[in-house]
Structure 1
């Protein structure tokens, strides 16, 4: 028997995570699924706050890292949600679409960040060369936040894919109206 990890609605929201329902957790299906484990959701919140709201990375750097991680995971949910966020930051669709392509076709820092994500997936580490390249745009705290961001969104990607979490309605409408090439699993 398998458990149904569908997004929990407000009527069934667990009391142990009541304080999160009206914030970020209640706003997205990914966290409504995670609410099946209220202690995990409560523990998740402080790291999410740092990586989403207070990272050393700029908002566009974060989106590039998250989009590349979502692409590498083959996570439609992460990809679509972060296309939405990248667009809100003013990133052009062509630039966003390139993030799912070969790093050689990416310009400047985008390629460097995407290569760093690829190294973490492929080699499970950042090479000394990549660290040296990231030092100026990110600094040491930014490198640590990049690694933590890839790890954080990998865990979410594993959950999203395992439980076939549906896109949130607003993002699904946007992707239907303004589609980008969907990332394929590398």
Structure 2
């Protein structure tokens, strides 16, 4: 690991405050926070700011949770981010994804619905071009309103950012999650 989780002895009020928007009090510790957040809190101000945004994406977004998780899994697959993948498979299944949907996000077979295919294709297009074509924008518009399309773009962008950070820092999936 290039940037390991912050040792418990270094957790202070600033670190705890940085996690307060995302985690309940009982999880604001090195074990409860998990390796990703325990690593991010090495920079409490950045963590606090980013988590404000991330809380919106996970809990306040206008996207249907199932489609949000499908998009995140596609990002995790394309970016080879094991940490993101492992955590969001579980979250995706809880949000209504099936094992077949998870495999579709991995590229193992075709998505189950036409709109799932649009979502996966839009993630791919953003990853390749940092922009959506008029055709893809129109296809997303068939089921997403303007705010949902905005939330979609920011979700893909935020989870791409997290994947590059987790991969570069060397954040490992927790031993009990393999």
TM category, shorter? 0.7 to 0.9
Unpaired runs of at least 5, structure 1: 173-186
Residue in 1 aligned with 2:13? Answer: 15
Any residues of structure 2 matched to 1:1-186 within 5 Å, and which? Answer: 4-21=2-19, 23-24=22-23, 26=29, 27-101=33-107, 105-106=110-111, 107-172=113-178
Matched-pair contact (CA < 8 Å) for 2:19–2:48: no
Normalising to structure 2: TM-score of the pair?
A: 0.86
> What is the Cα deviation at residue 122 of structure 1?
0.7
Deviations, residues 108-167 of structure 1 (Å, cap 9, x unaligned): 221110111011011110111111111131111111111101111111111111121111
- TM (normalized to structure 1)? 0.83
Name the SS of the counterpart of 1:120 in structure 2: helix
CA contact (8 A) 1:14 1:38 kept: no
Give the root-mean-square deviation of aligned CA atoms. Answer: 2.0
In structure 2, distance between residues paired with 1:65 and 1:39 = 27
Alpha-carbon contact 1:73-1:154 (below 8 Å) kept: yes
Q: Which runs of 5+ in 2 are unaligned?
A: none
Question: In the alignment, is the contact (CA less than 8 A) between 1:51 and 1:145 conserved in 2?
Answer: yes
Q: Conserved in 2, the CA contact under 8 Å of 1:13 and 1:21?
A: no
Per the TM alignment, residue 169 of structure 1 is displaced from its structure 2 partner at its CA by: 4.0
88-97 or 47-56, larger mean C-alpha shift:
88-97
CA distance in 2, matches of 1:49, 1:140: 20
